[in-house]
Amino acid sequence: MKLNNLFYIFTFFFLFLNSCMQEIPKDKVSSELKIGLSDDSTEVILFKVPSYMIEELRSDSLKNTDWINFFAVYKDTSDQELRDFQSALEGTYTIAEEMISFKPEIEFKPGVSYFARCYTKILLRKPEDIISTKKIFTSGDYIEFKFSSGK
């Protein structure tokens, strides 16, 4: 009987240790993404983009409206209720190693507040949806970066 109990204790201990070595979920990636300004404050850059996302974004040609649903820059407003209804700025998106940059068509104005958002949650869970459906989903969590150009 004691040998039987020892077997169950050993099995429980082994399962407990094994459960500690699980993979980090892809949602963890969203906390590693960072948004910032370029050194000359002319571009907004999304840093630490996972390589599998970069490869998929490069292989698919996205329209400007698709980019806006993933990574967009807006002119800020003092009215918090209208903030989510702002139109995104028009501009050019560039993909580089582990980063995506946005350069607006019209330069950022000094003293004007802006904010950038990257909508991450659903995109990072199912990156193959970008290619299979050719759509980027807009629901889910986002990360935000507020800034003003200091030129």
CATH number at residue 40: 2.60.40
Number of domains in the chain: 1
Q: How far is CA 69 from CA 45, 78, 114, in A?
A: 16, 23, 17
Give a yes or no: residue 114 inside a domain. Answer: yes
- Please check whether residue 125 lies inside any domain of the structure: yes
Domain limits for position 52: 24-148
Tell me which amino acid residue 88 is: A
What is the C-alpha to C-alpha distance for residues 12 and 18, in angstroms, rounded to an integer?
10
Q: Is residue 76 part of a domain?
A: yes
Sheet holding 99-104, edge to edge: 34-37, 44-47, 99-104, 91-96
What pLDDT sits at residue 65? 75
Quote the pLDDT of residue 9.
Answer: 66
- Please indicate, yes or no, if residue 16 is contained in any of the structural domains: no
Helix (H) or strand (E) holding 79: none
CB 119 within 8 A of CB 94: no
pLDDT at 99: 92
Residue 95, domain member (yes or no) = yes
Q: At 107, is the secondary structure helix, strand, or coil?
A: coil
Q: What is the pLDDT along the chain (151 residues), one digit of tens a residue?
A: 565 665 666 565 555 556 655 444 444 444 578 899 999 999 999 998 888 888 888 887 777 778 888 899 999 988 888 888 889 999 999 998 889 999 999 999 998 999 999 887 545 545 565 566 565 544 457 888 999 876 5
Any domain includes 53? yes
User: What backbone torsions phi and psi does residue 11 show, to the nearest 5 degrees?
Assistant: -60, -45
From the centroid of its chain, how far is CA 126? 13
